[in-house]
Structure 1
Amino acid sequence: MTLTPQLDQLVTACHWIGTRGWAPATGGNMSIRQDAEYCLLSASGKDKGALTRDDFMQVEIAGNRVPSGRKPSAETGLHTLIYRLFPDAGAVLHTHTVNSTVLSRIAKGATVELQGYEMQKTLAGQTSHLDQVSIALFDNDQDIDALARRIDQYAEHQPLSYGFLLRGHGLTCWGRDVSEARRHLEGLEFLFQCELQRRLLEAK
């Protein structure tokens, strides 16, 4: 991977996310894989719609160590977990949107099942609206290390594809590069909005 174009694409994606209000009040965090050992992760407490290249710091994938000593995002351990679980993952996007947050609150099971939507084909490997897409849903936890362990244990027995939801928190998704991660984010957000409205209408 040529790092400079990917980092520039990530900064552009962050600005795009910011204009949509998908990471309000400095929420959310984004990263790209630098190499087998490190990723570059957004700094904590920054407006994601105004990030620059200098707002990303190097983080050790194996142990979450930050060589520069700067303060990383609170969810650093979730990004590094994804890079460990999926060697082909090249970018991770974590957002706090209304649709993903509300849907994660009203969904009762361990997954959100999506089926019958043409836009499922925005997700890598999906070729038909007839397929069923399962998005894992985990209870939120302020102890990120404990949360990462639960997600890791889940992934040992169940497929974990495209992204996962944290209840009352938001979506974390990934892709082989920034472009694919961004497509997955936009596709999943559309699907979540459709599914949320479908459930609300059926409940009336």
Structure 2
Amino acid sequence: MTFEDAASAIAAAGRRMDAMGWVPATAGNISIRLAQDEIAITCSGRHKGLMTAADVMAVDAAGAPREAGARSSYETLLHCGIYRRFAGAGAVLHGHSLANTVLSRRAGTSIRLAGYELLKAFPGGSTHDTAVDLPVFDNDQDIPRLQQAIDALWDDAPGAPPGYVIRGHGVYVWGADMNAAMTRLEALEFMLLCHLEEGRHSS
């Protein structure tokens, strides 16, 4: 994929996420892997619903900007961590929905999703009759330290679902390409919203 095509796809994903209410203000970030050592990612401080291709930049595999003076998201290293760990990851989405924010503030180390038809959107989810534990990590402004905690969990659970939540902050989801990542994000956000509603009505 060319940088231009990736930038257009990222801008379109930003508009989609904004329409769903998942990236308020300048929240969230989006990326596509261009090559083994290059990533297209949203520039820092951009409203995702108003983005154009000009609001996307390129970084190397360590998160360093390809162009002098450009500034990517503060959380670029979390995108790099996903691409470094998962060779099949081609796109990463990070959003701040009401459901993932509220649920993660209440959760322990994971949020269990069980019995939902949309669990089929995750790898290995051939039936609704299963459960997924979505990891929840404490928010940390030290991004390298946060990535170390994520890597430690992945080392212990290499078959973990393609997603995690940062407490009170937002969700990260990835897929082979932008369509796959968006499908998983939409499925996950629907299940989280259901989980939130069930909790509200049972209390």
Quick check: TM above 0.5? yes
For 1:94-133, list aligned pairs within 5 A: 94-108=94-108, 110-133=109-132
Q: Which residue of 2 aligns with 1:171?
A: 171
Query: 1:123·1:183 contact (CA, 8 Å) conserved in 2?
Result: no
For 1:11-90, list aligned pairs within 5 A: 11-61=11-61, 63-69=62-68, 70-90=70-90
The one-letter amino acid of 1:105's match is: R
Query: 2:10·2:56 contact (CA, 8 Å) conserved in 1?
Result: no
Q: What is the alpha-carbon root mean square deviation over aligned residues?
A: 1.4
Deviation (angstroms), 1:2: 5.6
Work out the percentage of aligned pairs sharing the same amino acid.
Answer: 38
Structure 1 unaligned spans of 5+: none
Deviation (angstroms), 1:10: 2.3
TM-score by length of 2: 0.94
Deviation (angstroms), 1:201: 2.5
Q: Deviations over 1:135-163 (max 9, x none)?
A: 11100111111101111111110133221
Q: Which residue of 2 aligns with 1:149?
A: 148
CA distance in 1, matches of 2:130, 2:188: 15
Q: Which residue of 2 aligns with 1:191?
A: 191
Deviation (angstroms), 1:134: 1.7
CA distance in 2, matches of 1:54, 1:7: 8
The one-letter amino acid of 1:18's match is: D
Query: 2:6·2:40 contact (CA, 8 Å) conserved in 1?
Result: no
CA distance in 1, matches of 2:72, 2:17: 19
Q: Deviations over 1:121-140 (max 9, x none)?
A: 22233111111112111001
Structure 2 unaligned spans of 5+: none
Query: 1:6·1:177 contact (CA, 8 Å) conserved in 2?
Result: no
- Matched residue of 2:113: which SS? strand
Q: Deviations over 1:30-70 (max 9, x none)?
A: 00001000101100000101111121111111x22112121
The one-letter amino acid of 1:142's match is: Q
TM-score by length of 1: 0.93
CA distance in 1, matches of 2:84, 2:160: 13
